[in-house]
Amino acid sequence: MTNKISIAVHGGAGTISKKLLTEERESAYLKGLKLAVDAGHKILKEGGTALDAVEAAVVVLENNTLFNAGKGSVFTNQGLHEMDASIMEGKNLMAGAVAGVRNIKNPVVLSRKVMEETEHVFLCGLGAEELAHKCNLEFMSPDYFFDSFRHDQWIAIRDTETTQLDHSDKKFGTVGAVALDANGNIAAATSTGGMTNKRYNRIGDTPIIGAGTYANNKTCAVSCTGHGEFFIRSVVAYDVSCLMEYKGYSLKDACNEVVKNKLVKIGGEGGLIAVDTKGNLELCFNSEGMYRGYKQNDEEAVCSIY
C-alpha cells in the first residue's frame, strides 16, 4: 500500500486572456477550482477511492455555474442543455459514459451508474435518462440550468451557422478530474455541456472513452478539455497511455508529445490533466490558458488559469 495521494482538476482550456477576466471573476474561478480539489482530496485523505474522489470533484464543478458542465451548461441551437460525461477506473478498466442528456443535475453521477448498474459502457439521450430515473438521480427543471451570461452568448449567434467554444474568444468548457488513491489505484472523470449553439445532437470527446477520458493502472489516468473533434480523431487520452505502455515514455513526455506536438500538427487546441500510479501529475495545454488545480499528499492546493 502506498500513502501517496494526488488529485488534479480542470475547468476548461482555450483563449483565456487576463483582460477578459475581471479580478472578481478570476477569483471566483480559482475558488471554484479549489473547492473541487478539496472535495476530492478529502476523500483520498480519509482512505477513499480514486473513483469516489474524481466523481466528487466533478460534481462540485458541475454544480458551479461558472463552468460549462451541469448547472453552467451552454445552450444548444434549440435553446436546450445537452450534457455529456464519463468516468473510468484504472484497476479494472471499468467505465461508464452518457451523452446528450437533459435536466440531469449531475451527469457524472449517471455515468458511474452506467458503469456499475448496467452491463454497458455508453448510453445516450432518453435511454440514459431512463436509467437516471430508475436510479432515482436528481432531475432539475430547465430554469436551474439558466445562466444569463450563457444565454446572451447563445442569443448572439443562434441565427447563424456558428458554434462557439464557451466564454471568451475561444474557451473549451469541460470539467474533469484525475486522482491516485492510497491503494495505488487511479481514476478519471470528465463532464461538459458541449458547444454553444451546437446542432444535430453533436457530441464531443468528453464521453468517449479513450478520447476524452481514460484510466489504466498500468499507465495513467487522463481527462481532456479542448476542441473535441480533434481530440476524438487523435484518441488523445488513450494515446498518452499508449506512449507510456508501449514506448516507455514518462507521464510528462507522453503528455507533451500528444498535446504540444501531435495535436498542434492537426490544429487541435486544448489540454489535459493526468496522473500516474507514482502520483506524478501533469497539467498540460497548448492554448493560452487552462483552468486547473491540484493537490498532492498534504501539500497546499495550487490553482491557476494562465
User: Which residue(s) pair with 94 in the sheet?
Assistant: 89
Separation between Cα atoms, residue 238 and residue 305, nearest integer Å: 25
Decide if 40 contacts 54 (C-beta within 8 A): yes
Could you tell me which residues come within 8 angstroms of residue 92 by beta carbon, excluding any fewer than 6 positions away?
A: none
Instruction: Assess contact for 31 and 11: CB atoms under 8 A.
Output: no
Q: Whats the size of the chain, residue-wise?
A: 306
Closest CA to 97 of 206, 10, 245, 21: 206
Q: Please count the other Cβ atoms lying within 10 Å of the Cβ belonging to residue 46.
A: 10
CA–CA gap between residue 152 and residue 75 (Å, rounded): 10
Residue corresponding to grid cell 478520447: 211
As annotated, the active-site residues are 174
